[in-house]
Structure 1
Amino acid sequence: MTAVASESKPGPASQPSAVTPADLIAAAVAMRPELIERQAEVEATTYFAADTHQKFLDSRLYDMYVPKMYGGLEVEVPTFMRVALELARGCMSTAWCFSLSANHALQVASWFPRQVQDQVFANRDFRAASVSAPTVRAEKVEGGYVLNGEVAYCSGIPYATYYLGQTMVADPDGGEPRMGMFLAPRDQFERLDDWGDTLGLKGSGSHSIRFTNGFVPAEFVMEDINMVDIPVEGGTVGSELHGNGMYSGRGLSIFTMTLAAIAIGGGYNALDEFEDQMRTRKTPLPPVVSRMQDPDYQRFYGAALTKLATAEAALMNVAQQHMDLCRANVAGERPYTFVDDFRLAGIARELVVQVWETVEKDLFRNIGSSAARNGERFERVFRDMAQAAGHRNTLLREQSYRTLAQLTLGLAPATQH
């Protein structure tokens, strides 16, 4: 059983690193014109092309969260979010597929023991899709676990070398199964050809995968673990191993920040096209003048720019708060709690919604019907933004308000987290 993955390989782990955060951001910006040009191709194939994947390898964007001891770059969270944002300003689908496979190096380097990390980060060839739904069943056997089941919406799976997920571990005595977290190499699952028929993000590589008697060694499964709420108080295996507090963080806020970064980049993508229309088209009503010179269009543009810049500033602040909590956690100043993680994720979730509303109200309603024709840049970004706004994470917004209040005020939660 195999998942589709490129034969391209990065250089050896011993390769010296002279790549800076500014280099990574510049590489993402430099790719934007090509990403814009190839959006239709990405939608048709349901994920970005092999040569784009090679550019990610060559520019070392996949290495951002890979620890330095394995030849990675070990950059901080704000840098990763900036790269995801800039890629989405070219193509939201590509940014989604890339980011949701590259970002899970952070969790694996934080939570899994060294013997696992020594294997999976060898030669820096690590990318992992991940879904928190425990739809896979694991049965303990000699030396490891046998995995069976299907998982939907595995964004980034086409070029993933691993899958990070949840499982229900069967009780050998016939009792209730227990939640577990596992990491599986790509030769233990099959990627299904079932993506591309959604409204937007058609090229995000969010295919399903199937495990049919897949096998992973015992150390690749952590029983009695819910990856949404892994205790990290005081530090983790990863923070001790790598000497970096960043690897003592939680995962919910990181995931939601990644979605927000892509949404904000998509918002700027829509704004860029709105500006192009202002420069090339005239107002629909008298006095007919260039949209660039029209006070109303200036206001539409300025309103969207202000709101997007506000969302961007909030995202960078949340990313820095996460880093500060990680450092304080390792230093023993204060623990990084589930409430902290839930609050930061809530802020990031708000940004996704706010950016969608900005694109829909300030830009879509004013750009004109011709920009909504099939195949137009704005039409595609609008669909992608709508799909992002309807993501399961965003749909939990109202419930999350109540849960955050309960957690903050010391009330008994109505449901278990």
Structure 2
Amino acid sequence: MSDTGLVPVAEKVGALAAEHAQEADRTRKLAPEVVEAVREAGFARHFVAKSHGGNEGGFAELTQAVMAVGEGCASTAWCASLTALSARYATHLPQLGHDELWGSGADTFVVTAQPPLGKATTASGGHRLSGRWAYVSGVDFADWALVCGMVATGGEPEARFFALPRRDFTVVEGWDNAGMRATSSHNVIVDDVFVPEHLSFLRADFISGKNSTSDLPAHNVPFQAVGGLTFVGPAVGAAYGALTAAINAMSGKKVNTTQGVDLCRASAQIDSARFLVEQNAQVLDERTFTPRLMARCERNAAFTAESLVDAVGTLVRAAGTSGFSENSPLQRFWRDIVSASSHVALRYETAVARTWPAALTGE
């Protein structure tokens, strides 16, 4: 596992995020000092090349750090995870694009909108892009947005990613989910913006993981291998936060056998979930991208999400009415985990459609 020093710093970020979590949940915004702590910790630069001031970190280390933050605040962990992995996606840009994103520093906050919902036309030296993308997490404090659109060509349209500086897109608030409230997962609107060629790359390269610009191992990973790791790591951390909150809610009370069994069972589910998530990260760092292992990664993510929803539901039942108090972090963790686990990347249907047919025949 790489050691850039991210994990111990992330534990401090998690503690700070916990102090502001209730207010962030109420206002639907991360506190500025929490956002700055995420930046200073090194999440944004974790996968950036050392030649641009980055850390060239690995997946296992990032996963440990994200889970540490998630124990304090799931929304903060979600944004930390996404900005790290969005920067990794941006490494597919041509070298001039790297220079523009990270030329003045490696702590650029990048966010990503993966669905190809935009439309672009070829122009001299680049493309002209328009579109609207929903659920772009972390966009309130993004420096750049990486959005995907279809480009009209002489033959079949091709999907491309486009990197846009903050001045080139508009943010329209639209995130009203009951959980993960402070992720700022709002809408991004682009209206006929010119994007130079060095700020664009093919979506097919993103999917395959073949990076023609960088030969760093972490920059050459198939998207299917990453699977739901981006989204399930914050949920695992939040589950540990929920476990602590449930124990605190029951502190000083007489705990009956049923409640004890619930706590025992839920804690085992959470530990098992962590093991599966760490197993996924190990596959990415060891670069063992066989069809069966990629299928296992997606299965692990879906199963973990399902297990965490079950576990946090059990914790809520064990804690009783006090766990639903407005001032109790347990009910917030419960809402956050259920919300996070609804992501399309964490569904069995997604895992089966993308990898399991190949897994049955490949080694």
TM-score, with structure 1 as normaliser: 0.80
Are 2:354 and 1:392 aligned? Answer: no
Distance verdict in 2 for CA 1:409–1:316, change over 3 Å:
closer
Query: Which residue of 86, 98, 114 corresponds with 2:95?
Result: 114
Aligned partner of 1:9 in structure 2 is: none
Distance verdict in 2 for CA 1:142–1:228, change over 3 Å:
closer
Given that 1:92 and 1:201 are in contact with CA atoms closer than 8 Å, whether structure 2 keeps it comes out as yes
**Which one-letter code corresponds to 1:183 in the other structure?**
A
Give the share of equivalent positions with the same residue, in percent: 23
**Which one-letter code corresponds to 2:172 in the other structure?**
L
Distance verdict in 2 for CA 1:239–1:323, change over 3 Å:
farther
Structure 1, 362-371 or 150-159: larger mean CA deviation: 362-371
Aligned partner of 1:206 in structure 2 is: 185
Secondary structure of 1:103's aligned partner: helix
Instruction: Extract unaligned runs of 5+ from structure 2.
Output: none
**Which one-letter code corresponds to 1:349 in the other structure?**
A
Given that 2:43 and 2:81 are in contact with CA atoms closer than 8 Å, whether structure 1 keeps it comes out as no
**Which one-letter code corresponds to 1:222 in the other structure?**
F
Distance verdict in 2 for CA 1:230–1:183, change over 3 Å:
farther
**Which one-letter code corresponds to 2:100 in the other structure?**
Q
Are 2:32 and 1:50 aligned? Answer: yes
Are 2:22 and 1:40 aligned? Answer: yes
Q: Which structure 2 residues correspond to residues 351-362 of structure 1 after superposition, within 5 A?
A: 351-360=304-313, 362=314
Q: How far does residue 227 in structure 1 lie from its aligned partner after superposition?
A: 5.9
Given that 1:138 and 1:146 are in contact with CA atoms closer than 8 Å, whether structure 2 keeps it comes out as yes
Name the CA distance, whole Å, in 1 between partners of 2:294 and 2:100.
29
Distance verdict in 2 for CA 1:402–1:161, change over 3 Å:
closer
Q: Which structure 2 residues correspond to residues 216-227 of structure 1 after superposition, within 5 A?
A: 216-223=195-202, 225-226=203-204
* 1:306-349 Cα deviation digits (max 9, x unpaired): 22111112211210111111xx6xxxxxxx46765454233222
Q: Which structure 2 residues correspond to residues 122-201 of structure 1 after superposition, within 5 A?
A: 122=103, 123-171=105-153, 176-195=156-175, 197-201=176-180
Name the CA distance, whole Å, in 2 between partners of 1:255 and 1:42.
28
Q: How far does residue 268 in structure 1 lie from its aligned partner after superposition?
A: 0.5
Are 2:314 and 1:383 aligned? Answer: no
**Which one-letter code corresponds to 1:237 in the other structure?**
S
Are 2:245 and 1:273 aligned? Answer: yes
**Which one-letter code corresponds to 2:208 in the other structure?**
I
Distance verdict in 2 for CA 1:62–1:400, change over 3 Å:
closer
Secondary structure of 1:226's aligned partner: helix
TM-score, with structure 2 as normaliser: 0.91
Aligned partner of 2:85 in structure 1 is: 103
Aligned partner of 2:360 in structure 1 is: 409
Secondary structure of 2:355's aligned partner: helix
Secondary structure of 1:258's aligned partner: helix
Structure 1 moving runs of 4+ over 6 Å: none
Given that 1:181 and 1:227 are in contact with CA atoms closer than 8 Å, whether structure 2 keeps it comes out as no
* 1:357-411 Cα deviation digits (max 9, x unpaired): 1111x212211022113342111111111111222223x4135325533222359
Given that 1:229 and 1:338 are in contact with CA atoms closer than 8 Å, whether structure 2 keeps it comes out as no
